[in-house]
Amino acid sequence: MATKLSVLPVLFFLVTGPNNLWAAADKLQEILQETTKARQENKAKEIKAKEQIEQLKRDQQSSQSQQQLDQIKQQKSDPAEDPKTQAGQIQQQLDQIKNDQQLQQLQTDQQLRRIDQEKDPLRQQQQINDLQRQQQIRSLQEQIQRNQTQQDLDRLRQK
């Protein structure tokens, strides 16, 4: 009778064990997918936060450049046309930079929404990485553009 009782759990495991293992494997896969998705969502939020910080920095730089330009305009009361023309051109550059930044922010937001809708975790991660690279390139390009504008302002100030 004791051997019959000890065989019962073994038989029960043999009958129900594979089903329990598959259920556990499915649950584990589901948890892994949820964890991956949560990580990717956090990564996307980090990217957005970094982009917002970069946007604030660009806005601040643009504002400072605008203030410097305004100061130069006030300091230069010379009736000569050349500095006024240059100041107008620099103003146009600053306006264009600001418009480009606003457009870029809208495009980034649109890309983040598309990434968030992506079902495949690997594809989503690839898109996040691509967006990060694009942002780094864009940030460097904008820095070059700001430096050029700053040099233009400095040259105008020296005249």
Q: Are 151 and 86 in contact (CB under 8 A)?
A: no
Residue pLDDT, tens place only, 16-61: 666 666 777 788 888 888 888 888 888 888 888 888 887 877 877 7
Angle at 106 between CA 44 and CA 52, to 5 degrees: 55
- The DSSP annotation for 28-66 comes to HHHHHHHHHHHHHHHHHHHHHHHHHHHHHHHHHHHHHHH
Map out the domains of the chain as residue ranges: 40-158
pLDDT tens profile 115-124 = 888 888 889 8
Cα 1 to its chain centre, rounded Å, is 69
Three-state DSSP state, 21: helix
pTM of the model: 0.46
- Name the token pair of 153: 């302002």
